[in-house]
Structure 1
Amino acid sequence: MNTARPLEVSVALCTHNGARFLREQVRSICLQTLPPVEIVLSDDASRDDSVEVVRATVAECAVERPGYPVALRVLKNATPLRVVKNFEQAISACTRELIALSDQDDVWVPDRLAHMVARFQQDENLLLLHTDARLVDAGGNDLNQSLFHALEVTRSEVEGIHGGRAFDVFLRRNLVTGATTVFRRSLLADALPFPPEWVHDEWLGIVASTVGRVDLLEQPLIDYRQHESNQIGARRDTFVGKIRKALASRGNTHVERAIKAELLLERLLQIGDRVSPEIIAKVRSKIEHQRFRAALPASRLARCIPIFREAMTGRYDKFGRGVRGVVRDLFESV
């Protein structure tokens, strides 16, 4: 039995004109069965009363539960930093062993932190943990869909993460949603600064998977609100939507993915010997694959043989969605 004191949690909460839902979110944080020690609020030049709502709600909860005060630190940006750098600012100011990320419009189940902190207590090598979420509408009504369902998470991906192969999963695609994530503060030594080309949660997830253990909890521990003002939401593509994507213009998608992989390689080389040569080799191969896809000719007919040869290498499966990626490369416009 682990009798060590519970690890303490900082919450990195980022806001931008989010007053509409903030009271409900902050109450769900402060009234956890295992509450955090502090909330670091980084407000990105809000024009509404987001900061005032958070202050009032934290004070309200302190009156309701005087034995469990949650400290509040407020950082206010006069000029917007945007999502990635605003989260970087909030995360950098957190002081406790574990950091939980929070959007401004979700709701945590009451024992979310208790469940997640227990996993970190049990496994000292666990560096980052994320979970499923229940999707709800603006009014908090159940949409009868989970986050993992919307992302089309497969059983093999779940088992890969459980089995210590999160890096291979994330090199194909990101499954880490920041609003569901808790990680050890020690990760920041390798993850900061965040490249603006990456979303903060996918960057934290993939860097963590190269230097430590990443895992997931399959139960939904937050209500993930989907509404018209979501900066990043979750939505499962319909069949028609998938067809449209397959025929749409690729634009700079593969160029951007190659750049992201190059930035990852650069960071991993900076980390040094704690990253295995096998991981480095996989990232180099990912870069080659994305460069190949970016350089495909405009003529669909001229793409056929190169795409067939690339598919035979297995890299569509290793670094993308397999057959789905092949179909897109065959049919998408340039």
Structure 2
Amino acid sequence: MPSPPKATCLLLTYQQQDHVAETVQSALQQDCAPMQIVLSDDASRDDTFLRMKEVVDRYDGPHEVVLNRNETNLGVNEHLKKALGMCREDIIIAAAGDDLYYPHRNRRILEAFDATDPLLVFSHADVTTLDGAPAPALYRKATFYTTTDRMAAAKSLSLYLGATCAWHRSLYRKYGPMMFDNTFEDLILGFRAALEDRVHFIDEALLTYRVGSGLTNTKPERFTPDSYRAQRLREIESNTCVYRQRAADAKTFGLGPAHEVSKLLADRVADGEVRAAFIEKGWAGLAPFLGRHPLQAISRGVSEARRRKKRIGAT
């Protein structure tokens, strides 16, 4: 009989001093077989690392704990890349520094890997504000909670709640590292697992997902023309990089340029290029595109002009 799968729980933190001690405690109290738990802080400027270390210093349980603090802030993707180098096992159970993990979470995830041999596992979560009040579970609108079809995955910029996931390292071995620093790993790893038709959903809440910090606490921005231009270009570039990475992954998987998924991704990349050109140079920026697909180029320009007017009232 094969031995049950093993995993490393990887908890990444940054500027979460108010909640990280409770979070780390919940990670250390997992009721699964002894496992490696990597706790890594990305050079927080507050007391996040100190409070994490205090919990670890008091811990005398069965799990093996690796504690790391980066000397300089690396950013999300570079931090993840460095932390993965500390992880011993092929199955990585993701954890963030402000959520609460139910004691059976890791055990349920390992049972899923053992039973169905997936490459990516995700679940539901109970959603609260930072002070514990119930909050809407908006993540349920993400694509994988309805379908894991590869075409649907190719289109989507919201696949699943990344805080709930675990994945197999072979998603990196086969497809390589992410080519772009401004892409989120859940959008890439989720698509890769969908290509392989090896996604598993655990239909229960395995953690409390706390909203109210970071991006979830960002108030709607009041734009000037310059600030809107910069923000919109960043957004378009990030989305286009996701589609470029997915196009490369589809090719690695074996989908040819005539496949419907490959064609869709090529169209999404082209769409991003047209939109960025319009944001940068206005209607004059569309000139290189008018000879190939004039109606599409003009429609993208009209769409972006309307979006800009809605956000800043500019014409």
After TM superposition, the score normalised by the length of structure 2 is: 0.76
1:139-288 aligned within 5 A: 139-143=131-135, 145-149=136-140, 152-153=141-142, 158-161=145-148, 165-166=149-150, 168-190=152-174, 192-194=176-178, 195-227=180-212, 230-233=213-216, 251-252=232-233, 253-269=235-251, 272=252, 274-277=253-256, 278=259, 279-288=261-270
CA contact (8 A) 1:132 1:146 kept: no
Name structure 2 gaps, 5 residues minimum.
287-292, 310-315
Deviation, 1:52, is 3.7
CA contact (8 A) 1:38 1:73 kept: yes
Count of matched residue positions in the alignment of Structure 1 and Structure 2: 287
1:1-334 aligned within 5 A: 4-34=2-32, 37-62=35-60, 66=61, 69-124=62-117, 126-143=118-135, 145-149=136-140, 152-153=141-142, 158-161=145-148, 165-166=149-150, 168-190=152-174, 192-194=176-178, 195-227=180-212, 230-233=213-216, 251-252=232-233, 253-269=235-251, 272=252, 274-277=253-256, 278=259, 279-294=261-276, 329=304, 331-333=306-308
**1:313 aligned residue:** none
Distance change in 2, residues 1:205/1:233 (3 Å): farther
CA contact (8 A) 1:35 1:113 kept: no
Amino acid at match of 1:251: R
Amino acid at match of 2:119: L
Please report the RMSD computed on the Cα atoms of aligned residues, expressed in angstroms: 3.6
In structure 2, C-alpha distance between the alignment counterparts of 1:59 and 1:275, rounded to whole Å: 49
Structure 1 runs, 4 residues or longer, greater than 6 Å off:
none
CA contact (8 A) 1:128 1:181 kept: yes
Deviation, 1:4, is 4.5
In structure 2, C-alpha distance between the alignment counterparts of 1:208 and 1:92, rounded to whole Å: 21
Distance change in 2, residues 1:17/1:172 (3 Å): closer
**1:320 aligned residue:** none
After TM superposition, the score normalised by the length of structure 1 is: 0.72
Amino acid at match of 2:6: E
Amino acid at match of 1:290: G
Amino acid at match of 1:220: A
In structure 1, C-alpha distance between the alignment counterparts of 2:102 and 2:294, rounded to whole Å: 48
Deviation, 1:214, is 2.0
CA contact (8 A) 1:191 1:203 kept: no
Q: Residue 3 of structure 2: SS of its match in structure 1?
A: coil
Name structure 1 gaps, 5 residues minimum.
311-315, 317-324
In structure 1, C-alpha distance between the alignment counterparts of 2:126 and 2:63, rounded to whole Å: 26
Amino acid at match of 1:123: T
Deviation, 1:255, is 4.5
CA contact (8 A) 2:41 2:69 kept: yes
Distance change in 2, residues 1:328/1:225 (3 Å): farther
In structure 2, C-alpha distance between the alignment counterparts of 1:34 and 1:166, rounded to whole Å: 32
In structure 1, C-alpha distance between the alignment counterparts of 2:175 and 2:54, rounded to whole Å: 33
Moved more, 112-121 or 42-51: 42-51
CA contact (8 A) 1:88 1:200 kept: no
Deviation, 1:105, is 0.8
Identity in percent: 21
Deviation string 1:66-90 (CA, Å, 9 cap, x unpaired) is 4xx1112223211100122112211
Deviation, 1:289, is 3.4
Distance change in 2, residues 1:142/1:255 (3 Å): closer
CA contact (8 A) 1:40 1:74 kept: yes
CA contact (8 A) 2:183 2:238 kept: no
Deviation string 1:189-221 (CA, Å, 9 cap, x unpaired) is 145533212022222222332345123334322
Q: Residue 282 of structure 1: SS of its match in structure 2?
A: helix
